[in-house]
Amino acid sequence: MKVQEARYVMSNSDYEKCPDPVLPEYAFIGRSNVGKSSLINMLTGKKSLAKTSQQPGKTQLINHYFINDSWYLVDLPGYGYAKVSKVEREKWEKMIGDYLHNRENLICTFVLIDIRHNALPVDLEFMAGLGEAGIPFHIIFTKADKLKPNQAVNRMEAYKSKLAEMWEEVPPMFITSAEKNEGREPILEAIETYNQSFERTK
């Protein structure tokens, strides 16, 4: 898939105020500071589409981007650590939960994991919640440029083994580096396949 057009549409705290749910939608989420904005910019080929920040918790709303006039890329607030109050964090969690569980045109959620870290409880719990709710998701490992290529693959395999202890089926996984523009095509191809299925079921 070639991304020819990518534009910001709107930001909301309520999934019911998001764009009409008539086109396929793909959500991107991960722990704060996992490199989500950089990945979104890399996927769309737009350097400043999503605002990057060194400070965790920059994304605070449900952000919709319209891609190729045919599907939506959704940037969700990070989970886990961010310098906000408990009340604010609970508000984010409810907003994210309402969106993930109720958004009828959400085709797949991409969960971002920093490949430099071993499996963390906060990530495993979040993914377990998706699995229990029957929400389809894929895993994107970010920041692969911080490791040697064989280290990155070994980390992914270790993660796969960890998940296989808990689940019968392990979700698809992608290794990426926004710095080196790696991993873009496989993710866009997966989205394109979903888009074609969506078209056939209309």
CA–CA dist 149, 95 (Å, integer): 37
Q: pLDDT at position 202, please?
A: 65
For the segment 83-136, what is each residue's pLDDT rounded down to a tens digit? Answer: 667 887 788 889 999 999 999 999 999 999 999 998 899 999 999 999 999 999
Q: What percent of the chain has pLDDT over 70?
A: 94
Q: pLDDT at position 58, please?
A: 53
Q: pLDDT at position 78, please?
A: 83
Distance of CA 115 to the CA centre of its chain: 14
Give the pLDDT band (50/70/90) at residue 144: very high
Give the pLDDT band (50/70/90) at residue 81: low
Give the pLDDT band (50/70/90) at residue 74: very high
CA–CA dist 136, 178 (Å, integer): 24
**pTM of this structure:** 0.93
Q: Which amino acid is at 142?
A: T
Q: Which amino acid is at 136?
A: P
Q: pLDDT at position 83, please?
A: 67
**Domains in the chain with CATH codes:** 6-86+95-201 (3.40.50.300)
Q: pLDDT at position 201, please?
A: 76
Q: What is the dihedral sign for C-alpha 178, 184, 187, 191?
A: positive
CA–CA dist 51, 68 (Å, integer): 20
DSSP 146: G
Do 128 and 166 contact (CB within 8 A), yes or no?
Answer: yes
For the segment 24-68, what is each residue's pLDDT rounded down to a tens digit? Answer: 999 999 998 899 999 999 999 998 888 765 554 556 899 999 999
Is 80 a residue whose pLDDT tops 80?
no
Give the pLDDT band (50/70/90) at residue 188: very high
